[in-house]
Structure 1
Amino acid sequence: MSSSQASEVPIPSPCCRRCCLDDGDICLGCGRSLAEILEWSAADGARRRAIVETAQERRNLRLPRG
């Protein structure tokens, strides 16, 4: 798949319906910031991928390490 085709693949929302914002306005469910959540519908594929990656990094930092 070419890079132009990859940019056209729809990026699904990372929302997992466990919405609750912490003190930093980060969703405890998906890891997106409030600004990213509000931006989502207007974001293009590249921006959505960046949002998903950043949200995943936030979630990984929050996971308890055993």
Structure 2
Amino acid sequence: MLVFEPNRRVTVDDALCHPYLAPLHDISEEPVCPRPFVFDFEQLSFTEENIKELIWWESVKFNPDPTH
């Protein structure tokens, strides 16, 4: 699994059949996803101002101003 080229990596099915994982492998508890996951939410484009605002809101969570 630690191969840079995705096409050369072991598949999930092959990994689950590997002797190292054999004690943990239980086909009845391993459902198969019918389609690939979509991670589009991780592909957001931020402007510099968006990033500044997100950082500000994150800091407010940890350091709230009691006067507001």
Larger Rg: 2
Taking structure 1 as the reference length, the TM-score comes to 0.29
RCO higher in structure (CA 8 A, sep ≥6): 1
Normalised by the size of structure 2, how large is the TM-score? 0.29
